[in-house]
Amino acid sequence: MTIDRALPRTADNMLLSGSGDGTRVQLRGIEKSFGPTRVLHGVDLDIAPGEFVSLLGPSGCGKTTALRVLAGLEHADRGTVLLGGADVSRVPTNRRDIGMVFQSYSLFPHLRVVDNTAFGLRRRGVARRQAATRAGDALELVGLGHLADRFPHQLSGGQQQRVALARALVTEPRVLLLDEPLSALDAKVRVQLRDEIRRLQLRLGITTVFVTHDQEEALAISDRIAVMNSGRIEQIGTPEELYLRPRTPGVAAFVGLSSVVPGTSDGDTVTVWGMRLPVQPAVADGAGTGESTGAAALSGAVEALVRPENVRVHPDGGAGVTAEVEESTFLGSFRRTMLRTADGTILHAQHDAHERLEYGQVVSVTLAPEPVVVRPVG
Amino acid sequence: MNRLGPSRVTRTVIGVVVGAFFAIPLLSTVLYTFRMPDGTYSGARWLGLFDAHTVATAKPIWTGLGNSLVLCLVTVAIVLLLLAPTMVLVNLRFPQLRRAFEFTVLLPISIPAIVLVVGLAPIYLQIGRALGTGTWTLAFAYGITVLPFAYRSIQASIDAVDLKTLAEAARSLGAGWPTTVLRVLAPNLRPGLLAASLIAVAVVLGEFTIASLLNRQVFQTAMVVVQKQDPYLPAIFTLLALLFCFLLLLAIGRAARGPRKDRP
């Protein structure tokens, strides 16, 4: 069944009751080029009903394009988009029944907040009075009911994005698409709104796709994260899986902080400064593999990616490699220290906050024998 | 107010010079319409505007004015219904065409009207056969001459809003293209659309060359005709036309700034 029909008239207010079963969202073999540039190389993604999935990656990796294909704002050269099992590849954006929040402020400047919020309802044939009531409810949901009569230019950036969220949710769309909605906001508002989005999403049970280049953001609110690079999904998994068992060096480098240290690999273990560390075994499964680590295939000179919590600092010296403290930042309950070894390698270490290290202090460093991801030199 | 702006003296001097530049010819015209052959001043010509004899003399002007107003309407329609949607389309869907489009649209400003007529004459021969020789058909030519001016003011509005995001937001909320353009884009381009319309009206009311060479009677050509019988009458009408344009400008300026509508 395609949704090649008028949008449903939603009578009762599911927004407030917080039901909704969520819709399954699938991308199958999506390919997209802009002119000669290939942006998506066959993206496959299967999102369960009610799931919150982030597309994470550096700028230019194709994450926004993937979202726009899902929204119908771009047409894929190849591949299909399925919403609730129905092929919507040829259905225009306005009939896909989606809600979308954009990176740039997208409220209609000539309409009051309440009319902005009611816009989608009016397009679905809801009567003016009823639309205004429901828009008011949706604004209450994001805590802005008292600003209904303002114009967008009278609101702060955070408030505008909240209204945009209310506007996207009020029609009870089948899927909520968030295209870096927090990137224009300052740090504190960003965290607040991020948590609020997640709370709302869990309450409404709406399938959500969130595009971001901020790994911390993605780790904090996603059920699963799809890490994208050069138009491919390198790995998809829960935040824990990505952090603890990154399948590719790209994922390891992008998700969480890593130090890149030189070592020698024999396939199963890597030797770094005389310390032997197990190599993270390559996980073999179907979802879009990019540059495969092929741990077994790599031997000889490699680079190992070490997490800061696995770098142990010994201020009193002892075994391990000697390093000089370059910078040490107090971060509340812990402290993050940047060290430089004699061979010029930069190491990031995370340790107890009361372990104070001075600039220029010479310490010795050991690496915890936790599995590391390795990649070819260069 | 603005520390980087010119000083108060500089501003006053600039204001006076620019003001004089416009005021002197206007005042001269006003004085001219009041001055009698014996050197005295009298308002007789203004008061006698609706005398039977004067009305008969001024008849071509009234006809020409009527024609010009019809031309204004058709030209504004061309700007609002053809140029503006095309510009939205180019900006949203074919941004790679923007340069070429801008170049084409700005071309008429560099082509003298008299050269334009050389090209237009044979075209109007065909238009005359297809649509008749009604004066309103001049609007096609005027549509071209106002292009550069209308383009600039509309483009300024387009550049001031994030057209793409607004359109995409409207589409994601379930609006089709017609609704998106009429309810979301047009209200936000209102200042540019109003300015473009005003400029179109001003250009049409002031146009002489094309109308004259294509033998159509409009406001300006009628003035020349009447001037041969009564040199004072066209001066009076010129002043009235200027006043009209001035009031139009005020009205449009007010509408553009005016209170925002509170619903779509």
CA distance A361 to A319: 16
E strand or H helix that includes residue A220: helix A215-221
The full DSSP string for A67-124 is HHHHHTSS--SEEEEEETTEE-TTS-GGGS-EEEE-SS--S-TTS-HHHHHHHHHHHT
* One domain, residues A279 and A208: no
pLDDT 10s digits, B105-130: 999 989 888 898 899 889 998 888 88
Contact: A104, B162; criterion CB under 8 Å: yes
Last residue of a domain, one of A175, A206, A237: A237
Domain region containing A176: 14-237
* One domain, residues B31 and B135: no
Percent of chain B with pLDDT over 90: 52
User: Which chain A residues are Cβ-neighbours of B161 within 8 angstroms?
Assistant: 109
Contact: A97, B162; criterion CB under 8 Å: no
* One domain, residues B96 and B150: yes
Q: Which of A189-198, A210-219, A277-286, B242-251 has the lowest mean pLDDT?
A: A277-286
Q: What is the CATH number of the domain that holds A92?
A: 3.40.50.300
pLDDT 10s digits, B126-158: 888 888 878 899 999 999 999 999 999 999 999
Is the residue at A3 inside a domain?
no
* One domain, residues B140 and B64: yes
User: Which chain A residues are Cβ-neighbours of B171 within 8 angstroms?
Assistant: 73, 92-94
Let me know: does A347 contact A338? Beta carbons within 8 Å. Answer: yes
* One domain, residues B93 and B7: no
Q: How many domains does chain A have?
A: 2
Assembly ipTM: 0.80
B228/A21: higher pLDDT? B228
For B121, the 3-state DSSP assignment is helix
Is the residue at A253 inside a domain?
no
* One domain, residues A74 and A186: yes
pLDDT of residue A156: 94
Probe site for chain B from A9, A64, A110 (most B CB atoms < 10 A): A110
Contact: A119, B175; criterion CB under 8 Å: yes
* One domain, residues B173 and B226: yes
* One domain, residues A267 and A217: no
Is the residue at B210 inside a domain?
yes
- Assessment of whether the complete model's pTM goes beyond 0.90: no
pLDDT of residue A9: 40
Is the residue at B194 inside a domain?
yes
pLDDT 10s digits, A77-116: 999 999 999 999 999 999 999 999 999 989 999 999 999 9
Domain region containing B197: 49-257
* One domain, residues B99 and B174: yes
Is the residue at A83 inside a domain?
yes
pLDDT of residue A324: 93
Q: Could you report how far apart the first and last alpha carbons of chain B are, in Å? A: 36
Let me know: does A215 contact A138? Beta carbons within 8 Å. Answer: no
In chain A, the residue whose alpha carbon lies closest to the alpha carbon of B164 is: A106
E strand or H helix that includes residue B160: helix B147-160
pLDDT of residue A249: 82
pLDDT of residue B256: 63
* One domain, residues B61 and B164: yes
pLDDT of residue A89: 94
* One domain, residues A64 and A208: yes
**pLDDT-derived band at A15, boundaries 50, 70, 90:** low
pLDDT of residue B258: 54
* One domain, residues A196 and A298: no
* One domain, residues B38 and B68: no
For A54, the 3-state DSSP assignment is strand
Is the residue at A196 inside a domain?
yes
CA distances from A204 to A18, A219, B201 (A): 5, 21, 54
Q: How many domains does chain B have?
A: 2
* One domain, residues B126 and B7: no
Q: What is the CATH number of the domain that holds A263?
A: 2.40.50.140
CA distance A113 to B70: 40
Q: Is the dihedral of CA A85, A86, A92, A97 positive or negative?
A: negative
Q: Report the residue from A106, A109, A124 with minimal CB separation from B174.
A: A124
